[in-house]
Amino acid sequence: MGTARAMPLLVMKFGGTSVATPDRIKRAAKRVAREIANGYDVICIVSAMAGETNKMVGYVNEIAPFYDAREYDAVVSSGENVTAGLMALTLQEMGIPARSWQGWQVPILTTSAHGSARFIDIPNDNINAKFAEGMKVAVVAGFQGVSKEGRITTLGRGGSDTTAVAFAAAFNAERCDIYTDVDGIYTTDPRITAKARKLDKIAFEEMLELASLGAKVLQTRSVELAMRYGVRLRVLSSFEDNNENAGTLVCAEEDIVESKAVSGVAYSRDEAKLTLIKVEDRPGIAAAIFGPLAEAGVNVDMIVQNISEEGHTDMTFSCPVDQVKRAEKAMNEAKTRGDFAFEDLVADTDVAKVSVVGIGMRSHAGVAAQMFKALSAERINIKVITTSEIKISVLIDRKYMELAVQALHDAFALEKA
Kindly list the strands in the beta sheet with 312-320, ordered across the sheet, starting from the edge strand earlier in the chain.
303-305, 312-320, 264-280, 344-357, 391-397, 384-388
- Nearest distance from C-beta of residue 267 to ligand ADP, angstroms: 8
* Separation CA 83–CA 193 (nearest Å): 32
Q: Which amino acid is at 175?
A: R
Q: Which of 72, 143, 186, 412 binds ligand ADP (CB under 6 A)?
A: 186
Pick the stretch among 98-106, 151-159, 187-195, 379-387 that binds ligand ASP (CB under 6 A): 151-159
Torsion of CA 188, 190, 194, 196, to 10 degrees: 30
Is residue 313 within 8 Å of 381, Cβ to Cβ? no
Angle between helices 69-76 and 78-93 (to 10 degrees): 20
SS3 call for 330? helix
Shortest distance in whole angstroms from residue 268 CB to ligand ADP = 10
Nearer to ligand ADP, 213 or 331 (CB): 213
The distance of closest approach from Cβ of residue 178 to ligand ADP in the complex, given in angstroms and rounded to an integer, is 7
DSSP assigned state of 325: H
By C-alpha distance, which of 217, 227, 212 is closest to 178?
217
Residue 107 preceded by cis peptide, ω within 30? yes
Q: Does 145 bind Mg ion (CB under 5 A)?
A: no
CB of 109 to Mg ion, least distance (A): 23
**Which neighbouring-strand residues pair with 268?**
353
313 touches, from ligand ASP, ligand ADP, Mg ion, none (C-beta below 5 to 8 Å by class): none
Asked if 145 is part of the footprint of ligand ASP (rule: CB under 6 A), the reply reads no
Q: Residues 5, 27, 130, 157: which binds ligand ASP (CB under 6 A)?
A: 157
Nearer to ligand ASP, 143 or 167 (CB): 143
Distance from C-alpha of 154 to C-alpha of 116, rounded to nearest angstrom: 6
**How far is the C-alpha of 219 from the C-alpha of 215, rounded, in Å?**
8
Residue 79 engages ligand ADP in binding (rule: CB under 6 A): no
Rounded CA gap, 316 and 303, in Å? 6
| Residues 246-263 as b or e (16 or more Cβ within 10 Å = b) | bbbbbbeeeebeeebbbb
Angle at 23 between CA 18 and CA 28, to 5 degrees: 45
Interface with ligand ASP, residue 47, by CB under 6 A: yes
44 interacts with ligand ADP by CB under 6 A: no
Does 184 contact ligand ASP by CB under 6 A?
Answer: no
48 binds, among ligand ASP, ligand ADP, Mg ion, none (CB under 5 to 8 A by kind): ligand ASP
For residue 12, give the H/E element and its range. Answer: strand 9-14
181 binds, among Mg ion, ligand ASP, ligand ADP, none (CB under 5 to 8 A by kind): ligand ADP
Residues 125-184 that bind ligand ADP (CB under 6 A): 158, 180-182
- Which residue number places its CB atom closest to ligand ADP? 15
Which of 79, 142, 145, 158 forms a contact with Mg ion (CB under 5 A)? Answer: 158
Question: Smallest distance from the beta carbon of 325 to ligand ADP, in angstroms?
Answer: 25
User: Least separation, in Å, of the C-beta of 298 and Mg ion?
Assistant: 23
Give the containing element (helix H, strand E) for 409. helix 401-411
* Spatial distance between the Cα atoms of 402 and 299, rounded to a whole number of angstroms: 24
Regarding 214 and contact with Mg ion (CB under 5 A), the answer is: no
Question: Would you count residue 159 as binding ligand ASP (CB under 6 A)?
Answer: yes
Question: Per CB under 5 A, which of residues 296..315 are in contact with Mg ion?
Answer: none
Residues 314-330: b if buried by 16+ CB within 10 A, e if exposed? bbbbbbbbebbebbeeb
Tell me if 179 contacts ligand ASP by CB under 6 A: no
Residue 251 phi/psi, 5-degree rounding, is -145, 180
Q: What is the largest CA-CA distance in the chain?
A: 77
Q: Which of 14, 101, 131, 143 binds ligand ASP (CB under 6 A)?
A: 143
Give the separation between CA 164 and CA 181, rounded to whole angstroms: 17
Among 103, 142, 264, 292, binds ligand ASP (CB under 6 A): 142
Closer residue to ligand ASP, CB minimum distance, 8 or 320: 320
- By CB under 6 A, what part of segment 219-278 binds ligand ADP? 264
User: 182 contacts which partner out of ligand ASP, Mg ion, ligand ADP, none, CB within 5 to 8 A by kind?
Assistant: ligand ADP
Residues 14-73 within binding reach of Mg ion (CB under 5 A): 15
Q: Residues interacting with ligand ADP, by CB under 6 A?
A: 15-18, 47, 158, 180-182, 185-186, 188-191, 210, 215-217, 264
Contacting positions for Mg ion (CB under 5 A): 15, 158
